Chains A and B, each alone.
Chain A
Amino acid sequence: MLNLFLLLTLSLLSLLSLGFGEAPLSAGEVIAGLLGTGPETHQVIVYEIRLPRVALAWLVGLSLGASGAALQGLLRNPLAEPGLLGISASASLGAVLTLYFGLALVSPWVLPAAAMFFALLATLVLQAMTRAGSNNLTLILAGVALSSLAGALTSLALNLAPNPSDAQDIVLWLLGSISDRSFDDVRLCLPFVLLGLALLLWCAPSLDALALGEAEASSLGVDLGRLRTLVILGSALSVGATVAITGAIGFVGLVVPHLLRRFVGFRPGSLLPASALGGAVLVLAADIALRLPETGREPMLGVVTALIGAPFFLALVLRSRRDLL
């Protein structure tokens, strides 16, 4: 029921987003454009300019929402989110390095490839740390250390940037955006996102059992080592791939699972698909909201998701502290 509602909201927001812009289109015109029955200009606007943006909003939101829910379930910690493990920060570092060394100008593929490579590197480090028979706390600590390291190196790049325009490029990229992206970008991250999401959804039943604690979950046949690997890998693939295209978009992975948890009876497994869809709704809504004021210059998506998400989150915390326990 909830998933159906979220999917419906997502579809409506998508239509809204496709019709919204300098050349406003009605819902009918958008659908005609999508089906290829409308005038050619409409088809171009819908397909080549606006659809990549909507598709990326979906992918970013699905990735962040799903991995946030999976990580909170795995670590049994309501503060967990993709940023916590240092995957986003590492991907950002990879992207920033290409900007710093001017490599991003060589080919449009260099920046996302570097970001994904660094996300993968972070994943391998995390995996190595957890394979040594260690526990969730080691994983969290390793993640915190990784993200601090990546953050520090990113700051260093900013610090040493030879000219101000490089520094500005870096800052803008760090703020996260899905505007001015093409289908090439979508194609680049789509396989990784789908694979990552599949891995995460596969974990859903095991995450339910983990509510009983690691020992009892294990006695119910949950392979904790494999579960950890799947969640880390799924998060790294989906989030790493989207960060590579869009830059860091914060808060979605943290806030969406919290918003939806009560509606799925607090079951970590059922939360996964709901949170994925919810993440897409939030990102898409934020992307529409940031285009509303006619200021000539759009605020960055990462800023808007935090601006929408943070007050929501605070209100939630104030109203009921139960689901944070």
Chain B
Amino acid sequence: MSRLALVDVAVQQGGRALVHELSFQVGAGELIGLIGPNGAGKSTLIKAIAQLLPYRGAIRLHGESLDRIPARERARRLAYLSQDDRVQWPISVADLVALGRHPYRGGWWRGAGRPSDADRQAIESAMRATDVWSLRARASDTLSGGERARVRLARALAVEAPLLLADEPVAALDPRHQLEVMELLRAQAHQGASVIVVLHDLTLASRFCDRLLLLHQGRAVASGAVEAVLSAEHLRLAYGIGVVMGRHQGQNYIVPWSCARE
């Protein structure tokens, strides 16, 4: 049985259909790339999976409807990293990552809540995995874009959820940090997590993901094996671009080259 199953999921907002009936499955240990042009419905779909938007259809995790699982319990099974990377207050990096343990926190009477050993372990290993342990005393508003992206990822990893949803986690990063974050997500999948990541970089999608879902105007243009999805024809249809493709060290790279003319 697949870990995550989407059955005829549709999202509407203000009478406009943003995602049309869409079905998809994600297994354990899979890294799924969600690609498509701006406005294709990628973020909408990922928010629907994270139960942040109302939708029709069914989204099941381990066979259980996600919208029937109590919020707190659900928060332990599903970690969501949004596109918005602002942190409102200059809290320390350690405190920020610790927020990932919020779903495990005791009631208010425990006040600031002493973290349990499990909490401490999860926080430290998430910070070491993302290489932000040395930043733990820094205020979050003093971080560079790349540091902030890794810290926020550490926050999501600290949840230790079997399902990780990341909305454009590499959008603001330089090439090196992009590679680092993708390797991290890859490693998470290796350790058994199901990861869904929204990407714009087709080469990263091709190299790191197990399978892809290509969206265009709220519909799946193609889904499945990476090479089948990333065909020149699909990319022209969805993005309206011509691409240059090649192979290097046994892996495909894809460079957007021209705007396709009708």
Contacts and interface: CB of A to CB of B under 8 A. Distances in A.
Contacts of B102: 205, 208-209, 220-222
B90 interface: yes
A261 B89 CA distance: 9
Contact of B87 (A204, A211, A219): A211
Contacts of B257: none
B75 A220 contact: yes
Interface in A255-286: 261, 265-270, 273
B52 to A, nearest CB: 6
Nearest to B98: A208
Contacts of B141: 322, 325
A221 B99 contact: no
Interface residues of B, number: 37
Interface in A168-215: 201-205, 208-213, 215
Contact of A209 (B90, B99, B112): B99
Interface in B5-62: 47, 50-52
Contact of A267 (B47, B52, B75, B91): B91
A201 B81 contact: no
B147 to A, nearest CB: 16
A223 interface: yes
B80 A216 contact: yes
Contacts of A48: none
Given A205-B102, A220-B75, A221-B102, A322 B91 contact: no
A219 B79 contact: yes
Interface string A293-325: 000000000000000000000000000001101
A73 to B, nearest CB: 8
Contacts of A265: 91-92, 95
Given A204-B108, A220-B103, A212 B155 contact: yes
Main secondary structure of the interface of B (DSSP, over half): mixed
B176 interface: no
Interface residues of A, number: 31
Contacts of B88: 76, 210-211, 213, 268
A213 B90 CA distance: 13
B261 interface: no
Given A209-B99, A218-B52, A219-B52, A269 B82 contact: no
B195 to A, nearest CB: 15
Interface in B54-97: 71-72, 74-76, 78-82, 84, 86-92, 95-96
Contact of B82 (A201, A213, A221): A213
Given A205-B105, A209-B99, A215 B80 contact: yes
Given A216-B82, A322-B141, A211 B96 contact: yes
Contacts of A204: 108, 111-112
B256 interface: no
A325 B71 CA distance: 31
A220 B51 CA distance: 11
B113 interface: yes
A320 to B, nearest CB: 10
A219 B75 contact: yes
B96 A269 contact: no
Contacts of A202: 108
A76 B112 CA distance: 19
B47 A215 contact: yes
Nearest to B87: A211
A71 B79 CA distance: 27
Q: Which of B51, B105, B108 has the most CB of A within 10 A?
A: B108
B255 to A, nearest CB: 33
A230 to B, nearest CB: 10
Contact of B89 (A201, A203, A266): A266
A213 B86 contact: yes
Contacts of A213: 82, 84, 86-88
A80 to B, nearest CB: 12
A325 B80 contact: no
B75 A221 contact: yes
Nearest to B74: A221
Contacts of B103: 220-221
Contacts of A210: 88
Nearest to A269: B112
Nearest to A264: B112
B141 to A, nearest CB: 7
A216 B81 contact: yes
A215 B78 CA distance: 13
A268 B89 contact: yes
B89 A211 contact: yes
Contacts of B51: 219
B92 to A, nearest CB: 6
Nearest to B53: A215
A219 to B, nearest CB: 4
Interface string A144-188: 000000000000000000000000000000000000000000000
Interface of B: 47, 50-52, 71-72, 74-76, 78-82, 84, 86-92, 95-96, 99-100, 102-103, 105, 108, 111-113, 139, 141, 155, 159
Given A208-B95, A221-B71, A270-B112, 17 more contacts: A203-B108, A204-B111, A204-B112, A208-B99, A211-B87, A213-B87, A215-B82, A215-B84, A216-B81, A219-B82, A220-B99, A220-B102, A266-B92, A266-B139, A267-B89, A323-B89, A325-B141
